[in-house]
Structure 1
């Protein structure tokens, strides 16, 4: 992952050239925090950096107006004069690298007193000094620093930029004003801990609604919870943010999505977060839907992985191919002709049977069917869902003895949820004393004569 750093002009008081910071190679479990200028060069704040200065010195923030954040020491500074900007890595993180578009001024040429600029990594096991520049007496070759600096391979608790005066005893730094100006700082933070997930609930399987809903809690130590990712069959499908404007990619135009303008950009926890996937937005057929939660450093924890839609059968995924070309039949149990319509007396229980077989005529077990009753007045109700075929692919459905004249409609879906693939409609006529029987309110609507 390439993390490019744009430079900016430091201004006449520092340097007029444009500084270009070299791209850094993003590592797994890290994220970049930009100060003063974002990755696209737009002005940004200096969140996370803390200024300090004694009398005669300054630590100023000019980033909001497009300038740098800087350190200055004035003329005839005392030996206690000091200015600094410090950065402390958020809890759960460590500084892995730093890049600066910075320039010094006032160090060039021979000097009769001492000024010192230092960039240090606090808590670095191999020593904190990353770079320094000191005025040396009678040093005719002293030069200001202008080239960008890049320091990878760190493991530090924080960083410090400092400018100070340390003249000979009893004297002052009789130099012109000296400064260190930082137009852009990029700190790479290492965050090794993946989010923790709990209280996972599938609040809706989607079987009837068509929408799979999963709810969960999550927490993270480090950069915070960044986003929820939905993958379908292992491929990215949907990303949803988990935070506010700080918890957003600082430059969506680039492939790198782990660039922020805050050192701890995202919230440490979320509760009752719901992810919804509508089967109508997926290609036809069975899929595996995986929900992941990801922190600012890209560390990922899987929330759930479920088949959705899934093949409408209690079996292996291979049965999907059998279902696609299956035949579906239904009939009333009466004689040997498998009738699809019958007449019975009121109060009599009726049985119907059927089967689901593949193109070779072999029964498919575990197929779910839905049974609807369509009344004479046109009202349609779901009487039974999940009527399953047996080992031989056959099923049995018993119609209550308390029904009236109606149609029995059985529907078959290749995947659930999914559209109805096939249906079979059987007609049941119930009679009482030789006349067609209807329950009160169920009679067919009378048609108006013209």
Structure 2
């Protein structure tokens, strides 16, 4: 608490950053949070709440009155207003309804408009605050109008001027740094015609999938993208900070899915809910493990005859599983980054198979020598070496093919891939090792 008080007293409100305050709050005990949140300047508390993990939102709602929560919403940009209200509804629908009712009509309309978009649509992530001008306006007049709006705090984080026609259709996008070298006495259109630069906008459509927008941001190194509707009318903008958040969310979701964990359940901090979601995947793992056990059981006589097989079996399955996870992780990540097109799918599979065979051959020789010397059975070394090559090949092949197949079926490649792959490497590893042992050693 002392650290928060020290930070607040040593900084002007304009110098404070929500992420700094959020970092301090996360170090406090839960019993101190309500008091701490009340100390935060009311025009920053909304941004601070959104910078904190979801579980802290309960403390925000408990600490602030309806009027204070409403004021916090008004201080946010439109996209953040929507996120704040969604979080508030999840915590307390009654309070959320009261807060919404006392918002001014403009904020209500903006939140309602953004709520019409689906979770995967670009429109759900855009800010409605944009700075626009007509191409026949004098540059000096535009700059003076921008300065007036900025001083009144009606505009924030503006990097671009959007030029629209009389029907609000987007025509040009001009960076503020470009405007500074324009002739202030001429119109925007005259400056554009005299300039050697292109001001054609790289825009997105509000109904586009947000993944398409993220891809365009990365491909064209954008800091902001104007968003238009199906008629080309400018309706908002998406900024790079929103894209960073989306990229982080997608990366987190992929990591959780690869481990068979639900990202939303984990973020809720509810033990039963998270445990139930994990149990679903563990149940599937149980059945696949039973399948692998059946394979082992079918070679019970072989194992009884040569006890060394039981000692070496885990090595074959474990290494094969690791090889498969390596290939799976690489391919899933490349798919997420848009680095693998349909045409390149074969190249990716060939690469992963080649790497697996090379590593398989290397480790087969090493393990073959170790097993032969360890148990004084040269043929046992041959068995485990051949088995490892087979399992490494299968692991590399299916580690690449499974996520590519899932993508073709419009399924998130990260979901369930690891479970399917582990089953394959276990079954193939045990079957090849024990099968070869039965054929060669008995």
TM-score by length of 2: 0.23
Query: TM-score, normalising length from structure 1?
Result: 0.23
Q: Which has the higher helix share?
A: 2
Bigger RCO (CA 8 Å, 6+ sep): 1
